[in-house]
Amino acid sequence: IARLPLAVKDALEKKKIILAKEKAELELNESLENNRLILENSMDAILLTLPDGGIIRANRAACEMFQMTEAEICLLGRNGIVDANDPRLPLLLQERERIGNTHGELTLIRKDKSKFPAEITTAIFTDSVGKLKTSMIIRDVTERNRAEESLRESEEKYYKLVNFSPYCIVLHSEGKMTYVNEASIKLFGGKDRDDFIGKPILDFVHPDFRNVVKNRLKQLAGKSIVPLIEEKFIRLDGTFVEVEVSATPITLNGEPFVQVVFNDITERKRSEKSMREYAEQYRTMVSATLFGFLLVGEKGKLLDVNDTYCSMSGYTKEELLNLSISDLEVIDKPEDVARRIQRIIETGTEQFESKHRAKDGRVFDIEISISFLYSQKQFIGFIREITDRKRAEEELKNKNTFIQTVLDNLPIGIALNEIDKGNSFYINKKFEEIYGWPKDEMKNISDFFKKVYPDIKYREELETKILADIKSGDPSRMHWEDCTVTHKDGSKRIVDAVNIPLNEQNTMVSTVIDITERKLAEEELHKLSRAVEQSPALVIITNPDGDIEYVNKKFCLVTGYTKEEVIGENPRILKSGHQDQQYYKELWDTILAGKEWIGEFLDKKKDGELYWESARISPMVNKDGDITHFVAVKEDITEKKTMIEELIIA
């Protein structure tokens, strides 16, 4: 070629340059086509942008992501698709300006104004004509963020589940603790994890169990499964705790660990010991109890009995074990027994009274408490013979009937009331009769007062006093006299009421008597007494022996004696000696015969002065005809006698 003419040489060089240029253009076109294909078919949104935020191109994925056309995206520019409130945007732009590219997350905005998180990769470059341009590759990370959040929540839940599990959980690697949960810290008596992390697991194993644990660790290192065991651990304060332990080999981040799960069984062991002791006590109790014991199968067959029930029934144990419960029952028929068994299976327990028949045919009353053991499908029953109690109850019932009859027929009204509620639970017939209202209308204390004492003012005064007296708790105050009650028919009666509190029985005994007739009689007697007291005649009342029991004012005025001077004395203190003994004998014979004597006396006053009196002396007899008193009604006739004598003399 060096020998070729210069022109040929130049032509060849030009051709070479042309070919190289064509090749370069072809490669460029292929590159542009490839880039176009990548741009158009990329699953990520790609934007060709300017440093100032303008958008030149947007691929199809970007249009789909933002729900816009390419022209709409270009028109909006960066400020139209990026959340202006996202504080990360200026930081990303500064980073890109500083090093030429950057990567991060931003909140972007779709056409419908909805926002979504996106991962952004952006870079600054110079195009073929030397102008600065930028690119943005965008990926919607909504689902990824949601998955990551879900994963974080799941991890947090798992962490809480493990950390706050009621079971103690420890992880160790190569024999040293790497993790302990809260329950483990509490069981070992530590303050926090620093008391355990990095410490040998064997330091916390009781010496009696260390060889066992070492062998288990060897098996775990070989990925073998080790069984659940019970052992003892050592707390930080040196005390021991019984635990139930399971251990499992696991892999975390490619590293082998052993996960140990254990729980404190101290209480369980203590309970098991107590249960064993209880079982022994139970067996002793069953054999020695004063109650009869039966173990009964699901169909009613006797499986076990104690000596007490053998004594009750007169059967031997061997004889009873060949019988069923229906063979002993007197009240219930076999079908009734079957129904009771089914009911106890459903409810679990039942207590009832029944009658059993002894071997000799004797029937005895029993009280039985029976429970169903679901696991064994058996019944256990404790039986107490209550023949004597039933007899006593029958006697008590008869006594109660007697007392009820007595109470119902007493001449005084009686009501029994609950102290705390004020309601009557018993009212006898006389109570109804005295208050004049049916018992059903007097059971409530408030209704009682309204009905029996209809006058509001009288009721309020009386109710205030009665309730205050009851509240005092002083029985001496719970006596109310001369209360006027109104019957349902409007008639009125006068009563005396007395309450007797029985606080331990929560019972107030209310009694009442009708004193209407007595009050009327007292009024009549009072009238008669006033009449006698104010009579112009001398009145003397003596007992059958003649001892003075009463004299009126006229007697005192005439004789000069006071009442106190003559009460208990005999009327002979008035004798003047004018009448002889025969005169007085006739008087006594007359009045002792139940007849009235009429005559005159010359008697002597206290000061010795004599005076004449006419007398009428009558016996007082009771309903049986017996003389109880003598009544003498006398009149001073001294002046009359003097006048007659003067007339005779004249």
Backbone angles phi, psi at 331, to 5 degrees: -75, -55
**1: confidence class by pLDDT, cuts 50, 70, 90:** very low
Least confident of 16-25, 80-89, 92-101, 639-648: 16-25
- The SS3 assignment for 464 reads helix
Res 32: pLDDT: 45
Q: Please give the sequence-ordered ranges of beta strands (E in DSSP) within 97-167, or none if there are none.
A: 101-109, 115-126, 132-140
Q: Is the model's pLDDT at 87 over the cut of 90?
A: yes
Q: What is the pLDDT of residues 5-60, one digit of tens each?
A: 666 556 667 767 777 766 656 655 555 455 555 556 678 889 999 999 999 999 99
pLDDT at residue 401 above 80? no
Give the range among 69-73, 276-280, 385-389 with minimum mean pLDDT.
Answer: 276-280
**Residue located via tokens 């064993």:** 276
Q: What is the DSSP string of 167-186?
A: SEEEEEETTEEEEE-HHHHH
pTM over 0.85: no
Q: How far apart are CA 442 and CA 408, in angstroms?
A: 16
d(CA 617, CA 635): 12
> With 50 as the cut, is the pLDDT of residue 519 above it?
yes
Q: Which residues contact 595 (CB under 8 A, 6 or more apart)?
A: 619
The answer to whether 290-387 and 535-647 have equal CATH topology is yes
Mean pLDDT (the chain, rounded): 86
Question: What one-character DSSP code corresponds to residue 575?
Answer: B
Q: Which has the closest alpha carbon to 300: 273, 329, 277? A: 329
Across the chain, how many H-helices and E-strands are there? 22, 25
> Hey, which residues does 185 pair with through a beta bridge?
none
Nearest to 230 by CA among 200, 266, 276, 186: 266
Each domain of the chain, given as residue ranges in start order, spans 11-142, 164-269, 290-387, 409-519, 535-647
In DSSP notation, 493-542 reads EEEEEEEEEEGGGTEEEEEEEE-HHHHHHHHHHHHHHHHHHT-SSEEEEE
User: Is 290-387 a CATH 3.30.470.30 domain?
Assistant: no
Assigned architecture for domain 535-647: 2-Layer Sandwich (3.30)
Lowest-pLDDT choice from 186-200, 297-311, 602-616: 297-311
* Confidence band, pLDDT 50/70/90 cuts, at residue 146: confident
b/e map 450-465, b = 16+ CB within 10 Å: ebbbeeeeebeebbee
User: What is the distance between the alpha carbons of residues 541 and 320, in angstroms, rounded to a whole number?
Assistant: 88
Assign residue 77 a region: left if phi > 0, alpha if psi is -120 to 50, beta otherwise? left
The sheet with strand 349-357 has its strands ordered as: 302-305, 292-297, 378-385, 363-373, 349-357
Residue 129, pLDDT > 50, answer yes
**Topology annotation, domain 409-519:** Beta-Lactamase (3.30.450)
pLDDT tens digit sequence for 281-294: 666 666 656 688 88
What tokens appear for 491 in the block?
Answer: 């008639």
Buried b / exposed e along 252-263 (16+ C-beta atoms within 10 A): eeeeebbbbbbb
Report pLDDT for 152.
76
User: What is the architecture, at CATH level 2, of domain 11-142?
Assistant: 2-Layer Sandwich (3.30)
Q: How many CB atoms lie within 10 A of CB 513?
A: 16
**Residues 596-625, mean pLDDT to the nearest whole number:** 92
Query: Given pLDDT bands bounded at 50, 70 and 90, which one contains residue 523?
Result: confident
- Write out the CATH class of domain 164-269: alpha beta
